[in-house]
Structure 1
Amino acid sequence: MYCVETGQSGDTVYVKEELCERYSDKHPVYKRACEGDGDECPYWANSAWAECSVTCGYGTQSRQVYCQRDPADPTSVPVTVDDSLCTLEQPDASMVCRLDPCPDGSNWARPGTVEVEVGRNL
């Protein structure tokens, strides 16, 4: 689970739930029942988020996302199937993470952005 914050520039930033002041304990539903042979429709499943790629500032997190379906036998484990069989939108496999600022101020620019500091000679 993750929370969404709005960054200073107005863009969306995803952060770990423990860093959020408020969040819902409801998880998104990526599964729906099918009519037909009694099997579930294929649905998206995912692993837990990996740790943030940095120890401070902005980084990235990733997880495995795969399409699976429940077998007709309820005692069997779900089966991974081709991604094309999942009809709902695929969940993100990566996201930006934000940890506490680095003590030296480094790594505080959001990944993919460039900050320019302009000096002035007097």
Structure 2
Amino acid sequence: MNTAEVVDRYYTLANAGEWDAWSDLFAEDQTMDEQLAGHVEGRETLREMMRGFPRTWAFFANMPVHIVIDGDRAAVLSHISGRSADGESVEADVCNYFEVADGLITYMQNVHDTVPFTPIIAK
């Protein structure tokens, strides 16, 4: 897959809640700087982290608004709409940055306002 296809699949799988297949988009030695979870190294660490995602989120959608692809790099502005298992709603704008090699995400960073997530991460 090229960078555009990887990015498209990232959002398709996330919005479908297919976290195991979503984790497969990442290189074995991937590195992620995630605004809420912090620094995450390794695909299997990420996969294990995502196993808890459905317990936290009753509904989750991350919809791309603007995508910029430059070779093996991409930046995506998106909007998250979510509802926690406890019924807390979240609306947040996000910027994701991707680096892709051989059809896999090797590095990803997301940046967003953390305030909308406070009711969920405070539990």
Query: TM-score under structure 2 normalisation?
Result: 0.29
Which structure shows the higher helix fraction? 2
Q: Quick one: higher RCO (CA 8 Å, sep 6+), 1 or 2? A: 2
Query: TM-score under structure 1 normalisation?
Result: 0.29
